């Protein structure tokens, strides 16, 4: 089961990872240009309305160093792309093809074992995905002597947990909505809503509390025990509901 599922989704993993690695390479290439025009960029930002500046949270948007530039990149694009990928994966991994059904029915395999094998594939992909990004960052920043291990390890742990949350959530949704297109659309909508909630919370102080309802806000490169507890607790609840629901699902 594990080997089969791993091979089925391997091509998409490679494509997404190559895309992100290319984005990182381009980012390293264009950084010197940004630094050369740093004053012009800062002047332009200062002319923008306060609401727009708040959207591009100044604490996260920073080009003063290569490391800060990569943090900016991760905040704006990479974290979102990663969550979208694992949402796509979770939406399709429970969709059984005819050949898969025949294979499963010919084996004395319990539903819990099927679910566990699929989850293990997803977790393995999450680890591979984030380790490749981590190593790409390490290599790039080591060349510039700008790598702080503790900072990026915290980022790695947070990203692993956030990706796992959205993977399980998308599997949970697809367990009840068997149409892949519909479940994928719903999952994408949820991700973008949570992403924009974190942005809206930056625009107006009156709705700042909304940031606690967006997991993207929890990726902040600081070890926050409360955030970790909330994410881990949410993942456990998701897993309980997922296993119970899958055991009642008609194959």
Q: pTM for the full model?
A: 0.83
Q: How many residues does the chain have?
A: 251
User: 98-114, pLDDT tens digit by residue?
Assistant: 445 556 656 667 788 88
Higher-scoring residue by pLDDT: 12, 249? 12
Would you call 149 exposed, middle or buried from its count of C-beta atoms within 10 A (0-12, 13-18, 19+)?
Answer: exposed
DSSP string, 14-67: HHHHHHHHHHHHHHHHHHHHHHHTHHHHHHHHHHS-HHHHHHT-TTT---SSHH
**pLDDT given for residue 151 in this prediction:** 80
Task: Output DSSP code: residue 49.
Answer: -
147 phi and psi angles, rounded to 5 deg: -100, 125
User: 68-79, pLDDT tens digit by residue?
Assistant: 777 777 766 788
User: 31-59, pLDDT tens digit by residue?
Assistant: 777 777 767 766 766 666 665 555 554 44
Distant-in-sequence, close-in-space partners of 87: CB < 8 Å, separation ≥ 6: 166, 167, 169, 170, 184, 187, 188, 190, 191
- List the structure tokens of 7: 């091979």
Do residues 86 and 163 lie in contact, with contact meaning Cβ atoms separated by under 8 Å? yes
Number of structural domains (the chain) is 1
Is the pLDDT at 124 greater than 80? The verdict is yes
Higher-scoring residue by pLDDT: 170, 137? 170
97: domain range? 2-248
């Amino acid at each position: 089961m594990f080997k089969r599922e791993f091979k089925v989704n391997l091509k998409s993993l490679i494509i997404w990872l190559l895309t992100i690695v290319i984005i990182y390479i381009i980012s390293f290439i264009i950084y010197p240009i940004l630094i050369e025009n740093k004053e012009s960029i800062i002047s332009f930002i200062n002319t923008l309305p306060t609401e727009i500046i708040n959207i591009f949270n100044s604490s996260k948007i920073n080009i003063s160093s290569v490391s800060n530039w990569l943090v900016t990149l991760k905040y704006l694009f990479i974290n979102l792309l990663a969550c979208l990928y694992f949402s796509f994966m979770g939406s399709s991994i429970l969709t059984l093809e005819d050949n898969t059904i025949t294979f499963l029915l010919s084996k004395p395999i319990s539903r819990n074992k099927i679910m566990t094998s699929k989850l293990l594939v997803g977790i393995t992909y999450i680890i591979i995905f984030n380790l490749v990004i981590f190593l790409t960052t390490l290599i790039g920043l080591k060349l510039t002597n700008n790598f702080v291990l503790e900072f990026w390890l915290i980022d790695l742990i947070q990203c692993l947990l956030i990706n796992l949350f959205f993977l399980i959530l998308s599997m949970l949704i697809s367990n009840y909505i068997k149409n892949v297109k519909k479940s994928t659309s719903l999952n994408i909508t949820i991700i973008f809503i949570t992403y924009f909630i974190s942005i809206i919370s930056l625009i107006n102080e009156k709705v700042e509390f909304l940031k606690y309802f967006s997991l993207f806000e929890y990726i902040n490169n600081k070890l926050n025990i409360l955030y970790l507890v909330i994410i881990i607790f949410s993942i456990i609840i998701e897993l309980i509901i997922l296993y119970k629901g899958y055991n009642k699902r008609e194959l």
